[in-house]
Structure formats: structure tokens, C-alpha cells
Amino acid sequence: MAMDTYSTTIAVASIATSGITIAIGVIAPAIGEGRSIATALSSLAQQPDASATITRTLFVGLAMIESLAIYCFVVSMILIFANPFWSRALT
């Protein structure tokens, strides 16, 4: 009975931590992407001749910003599906 309670506690903690990781981990990238797009649009309006350079730099920057959210997603998936604490709960 104690093992069942322990594994349930690990499951609940893993799911809650996963949700918090996603919720907090995507706030900063979302704000960063919004600000970078707004700045890029402002730059394009001021200097339309440099649109190729601005657009290329924008996409590289967006990919780097989005990687933060992807890392948070990977951590949350590890917590749910490949939790390293399960081996301790099952032994």
C-alpha cells in the first residue's frame, strides 16, 4: 500500500511540475517573439531596402527564441513519460 501511495505521489508531482514547466517556460519566448516581430516590422517600415537582411535575421532570432520553449516541452515530456524517479518508486 505504501508503494502505491509513493508512485501516485510521484505521478501527481510529475504532472504538476510538467504543467508548471510549460506554463512558465513559454511566457518568456512568447514575449520575446512578439517584441522581435514588432521591432522587425518597424525596421521594415523604416528601411524597406534592407528587407532581405531583416527577414533573415528575424527568422534566425525566432528560431533561437523558440528553442527555449522546445526545451521546456522536452523537459515536461521527460517528466511525464521517462521520469527517472519511476525506477525508485517501483523497486
Cell of 2: 505504501
DSSP one-letter code for 26 = T
Task: Share the mean pLDDT of the chain.
Answer: 87
pLDDT by residue (tens digit) across 41-83?
A: 999 999 999 999 999 999 999 999 999 899 999 988 888 888 7
**pTM of the model as a whole:** 0.72
pLDDT at 12: 86
CATH of the domain at 47: 1.20.20.10
Residue-number span of the structural domain to which 57 is assigned: 2-90
Q: Report the 10 Å Cβ neighbour count for 52.
A: 8
Domains in the chain, number:
1
